[in-house]
Structure 1
Amino acid sequence: MDGEEERMDEFNPMFDLEERTYLLSVLDSFRSYRRVAHYNTTHIRRRAFYSLPSAHWTLLSQPPFSVLDSLTHLDDLIDSNAELAEAIFCAGFRAFVAPNMDSEQVASIVPEKYAHDPFQVFSAVMDHLGAKATPNDMEKARSCVNQFYREWSSEGEVERGACFAPILSVLASEYSKRRERDGAIEKKNMNILVPGAGLGRLVFDICRAGYSVEGNEISYHEIMASSLVLNHMSKAGQFKIAPFALNCSNHLSRADQFRTYNIPDVHPASVLSEGDRGEMSMSTGDFIVLYSKPEYKHAFDVVATVFFIDTAPNIIRYIETVRNCLKRGGLWINLGPLLWHHASRIQDPQEGADDRKGASKSEDVGIADPGSVELTNDEVVSLVQHFGFSIEKHELGIDTGYITNQRSMLQSTYRASFWVARKT
């Protein structure tokens, strides 16, 4: 895609045993989506259904209930979701595993009858490598498929608008101020960083608005999924997903449960090839480790964080990193709740703090550092000010969901904090 590139920062996870094991688990979680979803969703429910008294399951098999027909429909929707999951698997395999194998290796592993089916070829190699997804990675794969609803469906604009529109509004205001101060500067000369880029929609929207933007993501699940949608999809509406179908609770009707959404709502490559766009890139790795480096000092005009800062075990490390990579006078725009992702972590006293992953005393392991703390919004804002930022705007109570089924009997809403801080 013109104006878009991916950076792996010269690290090959296949050459690190621990990282390779994790990478293969992530790949296998997408590869196994179809099988696991059928088993956990419809197979178990059919078995439970037939355990009912025969008079009861016979009644419920007939209209207007037709429970067995509903389970058959649910199987079809699982297959539709699985098409996306398997496309992510194939894109991830090509990016991470395929470059480390030659054709002779592959030929010795893959049965000839599968030679022209990329999914079967890649799957055979995965079996050869001993790939096995953990339950946690399986859950992340399921969530990642559902996240396409929020970031890449037209219906997800409700959530995106609540979270992304304030970011884009501040960027537009900042650009106007800079034009008044510095003259006719171009938007593409403003460099924006988006840590925790997820599936890449905010990065894409910022680039589409004309700015140069770099997304950063540490999750292999998100990296593979965002690469698929940004680089490898051929058209809008290429896939159809049913993000709420696998949860069988709190539905008003089967039609609500089985509603499908076409993704992506736009074709990123086509959109970014039109008009005068900025540059777009993605980096892979720990935000703290990567952007604390001297080469990133004063590199960005704006850092935009959405539903991100509460992923920090130690929020001070995030603040220090943002300060390092922001130019003097640059902006930090933040929107999100404080659903702290790390419970208090107690380190085994027999394990030295510098023994994790073979870390030396001089090696920064970023969010893998020991310890964690959970602060209130007021405390976070005070810390930001303590480290040399001036709060220019602060709003509370911005209501938004996160992959919320608007037709569900259960609604969850975040009342997000939104603030803009300038580095002094």
Structure 2
Amino acid sequence: MVPDFLENLETIRTCVDHNYEIIKLILQDAEYMFENQTQEIMDEDEDVKKTFPTAADMDKVRTTLKQFVRDWSPLGQQERDACYRPVIEEIKNRFPSHQCERSSVKILIPGAGLGRLALEFTKLGFTCQGNEWSLYMLLASNFILNKCREENSLLLYPWVHQWSNNKYTEDQTRPARLPDINPAEIPEDSNFSMAAGDFLDVYTEPDDWDCVATVFFLDTARNVIAYVETIWKILQPGGYWVNLGPLLYHYADMPDENSIELSYEQVKKVIIKTGFQYEKEVMDVKSSYTQSADSMFQYQYNSVFFVVRKPL
């Protein structure tokens, strides 16, 4: 009935092999990724099969491949416009270039993923640091930000593991070209960095940042109250916190993980009780996360977008 089925499986296998070549490039200089320490890489003659990847490990790899599309491919432009554009425009308006020296404005992006949002702020002249905890994201962001120097120089097959809800056979093997811009094309005097580690552990210095921008970040918390309190602590008086995202708590259904899940109504009460003043709030912002536009299954969030300020 489907004579080309086995042939298509071979095409899928070829795409998987190609993705693996990209992954090897990502891992090539991984031991030198962190400035403050060198990672010990296992010798080739060791029995690497002693450690088997779990289903969760494989899911993170698949998510990272799709994150390349969200942050660095023309195919992710619609998602970036929905999720990043409101945050960028809001902060641009709060710190207009004709009223302040943007290089003196420090912006922190927790949960920076593959670094696109942080880079966009750097291109606007701000001092910006992205923070990321996931080693998968850190490896991929190091590769795209530090190793890629030509537009559309890479080919990736981000949907090759998506076996369901394919309208057309070729949807599964549709390629994505990236990056859509040259990550190296930023002002020479730019102050841009990525910091690895848990947000709550890395950022303890009070009154250190002019603005914190969080996109799809609050739901990564085991205790969202700790996030709110930390953002309050590290913001300078008069500083802004700009947020967009849902509350899909990552640890809610994980066994042996402590997690507190608050509604947005409760989160808002915590934000106000902490001392923040609401300056803007927009409900039901339509947004998605690493979604294939061609899939027969579409997942959409009604996100909240808010701007709060730490009083002077």
User: Normalization by structure 1: what TM-score?
Assistant: 0.68
Match of 1:74 in 2: 12
Match of 1:238 among 150, 153, 176: 153
- 2:234 is aligned, of 314, 325, 329, to 325
Structure 1 residues not aligned, in runs of 5+: 1-58, 107-121, 348-369
Q: Describe the superposition over 1:69-92 as per-residue Cα deviations: whole angstroms up to 9, x where unpaired.
A: 111111121122222222222232
- 2:190 maps to 278
Which among 90, 104, 115 is matched to residue 170 of structure 1?
A: 90
Partner of 1:136: 56
CA distance in 1 between counterparts of 2:49 and 2:17 reads 26
Counterpart code for 2:67: Q
2:265 maps to 1:378: yes
Q: Secondary structure at the match of 2:29?
A: helix
The residue matched to 2:58 in structure 1 has which SS?
A: helix
Structure 1 match to 2:249: 340
Amino acid at match of 1:267: N
- Answer yes or no: is 1:387 the counterpart of 2:274: yes
* 1:418 and 2:308 matched: no
Please state whether the residue corresponding to 2:151 is helix, strand or coil: coil
Q: d(CA) in 2 for partners of 1:413 and 1:342?
A: 20
Q: CA-atom RMSD, angstroms? A: 2.3
Which residue number in structure 1 is paired with residue 169 of structure 2? 254
SS in 2 for 1:155: helix
Provide the aligned length of Structure 1 versus Structure 2.
Answer: 309
Are 2:111 and 1:191 aligned? no
What per-residue deviation string (whole Å, max 9, x for no partner) do you get for residues 265-295 of structure 1?
Answer: 11201x11xx46631011111111121x2xx
CA distance in 2, matches of 1:100, 1:307: 29
Alpha-carbon distance between aligned partners in 2 of 1:144 and 1:221, rounded to the nearest angstrom = 7
Closer/same/farther in 2, CA of residues 335 and 123 from structure 1, 3 Å limit: farther
SS of 2:210 mapped into structure 1: strand
Partner Cα distance (2:274, 2:195) in 1: 26
Question: Equivalent residue for 1:14?
Answer: none
Which consecutive unaligned segments of at least 5 residues does structure 2 have?
none
1:85 corresponds to 2:23: yes
* In structure 2, distance between residues paired with 1:412 and 1:345: 21
Q: Deviations over 1:237-292 (max 9, x none)?
A: 222112122212111212322211101111201x11xx46631011111111121x
Separation (CA, whole Å) in 1 of partners of 2:195 and 2:163: 37
Q: Distance in 2 between matches of 1:262 and 1:318?
A: 35
Conserved 8 A contact 1:85-1:145: no
CA distance in 1, matches of 2:213, 2:75: 23
Aligned sequence identity (%): 34
Q: Residues 173-205 of structure 1: CA distance to partner in whole angstroms, max 9, x if unpaired?
A: 1113x95xxxx5311111000001111111111
Contact 1:187–1:278 (CA under 8 A) maintained in structure 2: no
CA distance in 2, matches of 1:83, 1:416: 36
User: Is 2:178 aligned against 1:263?
Assistant: yes
**What's the offset of the Cα at 1:132?**
4.3
Preserved contact between residue 31 and residue 39 of structure 2 (Cα < 8 Å): no
Q: How does the TM-score come out when normalised to structure 2?
A: 0.92
Query: In structure 2, which of residues 277, 293, 296 is the aligned counterpart of residue 409 of structure 1?
Result: 296
1:146 and 2:146 are equivalent in the alignment = no
